[in-house]
Amino acid sequence: MFGWLRRIRENARSQSREWMIRCTTCGHERSVADAGGVRFGAWGKKYTVGRCSQCGKLRRLVIHHPSRGPL
């Protein structure tokens, strides 16, 4: 594999571990990488609909970076 492509892949993995996804109903939180997602080169928070791993139901989820301010 090309060296530059490997570096991009590793950067994407490490950035995805820093971003958190939180259920707005129960407050359960885990990293985007643990949820099977990728968040690379992003800024700000994002709201989406998905299944909460704690509640087991479709909920409104917020994707945020903890070091970039409060929710």
Q: What share of the chain is helix, strand, coil (3-state, %, to 5)?
A: 25, 30, 45
Cα 56 from chain centre: 18
Tell me: the pLDDT tens digits for 22-45?
Answer: 999 999 999 999 998 888 888 888
Number of structural domains in the chain: 1
> pTM (2 decimals)?
0.79
CA angle 56, 57, 61 (to 5 degrees): 100
Mean pLDDT of the chain: 89
Domain of 24, in residue numbers: 3-68
Q: What is the SS3 assignment for 7?
A: helix
Tell me: the pLDDT tens digits for 4-24?
Answer: 999 998 988 888 899 999 999
